[in-house]
Amino acid sequence: MTSRREAVRDVLVQSEGFRSAQDIYAELRAGGAKIGLTTVYRALQSLADAGQVDVLRTDDGESVYRACATGTHHHHLVCRRCGHTVEVAGPAVERWAEAVGAEHGFTSITHTVEVFGTCGSCASVASAG
């Protein structure tokens, strides 16, 4: 684990939600770190390969990364306003995916599941404003 890689991971660990490579790069540079964008991308890739961060793609095609607390299979509930993210487990949805695949003769089933919404604090800010 090199120092740059560690710096990238630290940003993610201290982040509440998903962050983009460019976002992380900007934060590191703003904090005085000497690091290149290419290195941020490489660090994220190796962290993702090692299973230490989760990746997902936003609607506009940007990859975003998060250091999740759980190493086990889980999904995300993401506030579409502030990005606040909670990790959720879902035995029900796991079973459903397997069942629906089997029902149509599919094997080696995998799935992607993400849930979006407005979190409690964003909702109260909106109603107060």
Partner DNA sequence: GGCAGAATGAAAACCGTTGTCAAAACCGCC
Partner DNA sequence: GGCGGTTTTGACAACGGTTTTCATTCTGCC
Annotated binding site for Zn(2+): 79, 82, 119, 122
Q: According to CB under 5 A, which residues from 54 to 113 bind Zn ion?
A: 79, 81-82, 84
Confirm or reject binding of residue 31 to DNA (CB under 7 A): no
Length of the chain: 129
Residue 100 touches which member of Zn ion, DNA, a copy of itself, none, C-beta under 5-8 Å by kind: a copy of itself
Tokens of 127: 């109603």
Binding site members for Fe cation: 73, 94, 111
Confirm or reject binding of residue 10 to DNA (CB under 7 A): no
Q: Which of 11, 12, 21, 67 binds DNA (CB under 7 A)?
A: 21
Q: How far is CA 33 from CA 5, 26, 40, 45, 64, in A?
A: 12, 10, 12, 20, 21
Query: Which backbone phi and psi does 46 adopt, to 5 degrees?
Result: -75, -35
